[in-house]
């Protein structure tokens, strides 16, 4: 049975709130870099980037960070094609990097992202923003900004649809 958890308007409100929280905790837009984890994390990072410039009146660099090559389960799955990594021209050294992903589950993608970041430079701090936190962490990783906490069982599947990637309406469902 599929249940809708967030509708398009809910997702918009959650991203707006996350944007305000990011600005609040960083005391403004200075030194921020948003890096989304492909595919949908990168899309969410671009949306949050647009919201931040609207709120703070200054452009925040947005990029994407592919973690495929750093995953710890590569040998357990068929080979997957990596997605592009695009680091903004400003780089990440000494900046506050906000990682953006759609669903936080085991935490293993974020661990891989932290490793990938290490090869790219030395940020002043790394924060984590996710649209949905569904629990079941397998590593000591905690998000700083959460769109929705969604208690789930391990067997359930959380599905995020975004119009830029999937077409149609934005939607988060659980099945």
Partner 1 sequence: MRHLLSTADLGRDQALTILDTAEDMASVSGREVKKLPTLRGRTVVNLFFEDSTRTRISFEVAAKRLSADVINFSAKGSSVSKGESLKDTAQTLQAMGADGVVIRHPASGAPHTLAHAGWIDAGVVNAGDGTHEHPTQALLDAFTIRRRLHGAAGRGRDLDGVSVTIVGDILHSRVARSNVWLLHLLGARVRLVAPATLLPVGIGDWPVEAGYDLDAAVAEGPDVLMMLRVQAERMHDAFFPGEREYSREWGLTDERLARLPATTMVMHPGPMNRGLEISAAAADSPASTVLDQVANGVSVRMSALYHLLAGEE
Q: How far from 158 is each of 103, 133, 149, CA to CA, in Å? A: 8, 10, 12
Q: What are 120's two structure tokens?
A: 């790219």
What is the side-by-side strand order in the sheet with 96-104?
62-64, 32-36, 96-104, 125-133, 145-149
Cis status of the peptide bond prior to 39, with omega within 30 of 0 = yes
Q: Does 82 bind partner 1 (CB under 8 A)?
A: yes
User: Whose Cβ is closer to partner 1: residue 73's or residue 156's?
Assistant: 73
Query: Considering the complex, what minimum distance in angstroms separates the CB of residue 19 from partner 1?
Result: 29
User: Whose Cβ is closer to partner 1: residue 3's or residue 80's?
Assistant: 80
Positions 98 through 127 that interact with partner 1 (CB under 8 A): 115, 119-121
User: Whose Cβ is closer to partner 1: residue 93's or residue 169's?
Assistant: 93
163: left (phi over 0), alpha (psi -120 to 50) or beta: alpha
Query: Considering the complex, what minimum distance in angstroms separates the CB of residue 27 from partner 1?
Result: 30
Q: Does 94 bind partner 1 (CB under 8 A)?
A: no
Query: Considering the complex, what minimum distance in angstroms separates the CB of residue 119 from partner 1?
Result: 4
For residues 14 and 6, what is the distance between their CA atoms, to the nearest angstrom?
A: 9
Positions 49 through 78 that interact with partner 1 (CB under 8 A): 66, 69-70, 74-78
Query: Considering the complex, what minimum distance in angstroms separates the CB of residue 48 from partner 1?
Result: 24
Nearest to 10 by CA among 146, 134, 147, 160: 147
Interface contacts to partner 1, rule CB under 8 A: 66, 69-70, 74-85, 115, 119-121
């Amino acid at each position: 049975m599929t249940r809708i958890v967030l509708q398009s308007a809910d997702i918009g409100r959650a991203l707006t709130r996350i944007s305000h929280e990011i600005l609040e905790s960083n005391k403004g837009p200075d030194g921020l870099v948003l890096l989304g984890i492909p595919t949908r994390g990168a899309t969410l990072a671009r949306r949050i980037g647009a919201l931040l410039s609207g709120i703070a009146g200054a452009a925040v660099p947005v990029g994407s960070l592919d973690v495929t090559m750093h995953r710890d389960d590569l040998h357990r799955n068929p080979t997957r094609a990596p997605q592009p990594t695009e680091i903004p021209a400003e780089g990440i050294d000494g900046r506050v990097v906000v990682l953006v992903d759609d669903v936080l589950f085991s935490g293993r993608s974020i661990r891989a992202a932290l490793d990938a970041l290490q090869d790219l430079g030395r940020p002043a701090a790394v924060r984590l923003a996710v649209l949905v936190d569904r629990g079941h962490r397998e590593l000591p990783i905690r998000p700083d900004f959460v769109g929705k906490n969604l208690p789930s069982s391990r067997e359930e599947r959380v599905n995020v649809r975004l119009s830029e990637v999937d077409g149609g309406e934005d939607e988060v469902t659980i099945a």
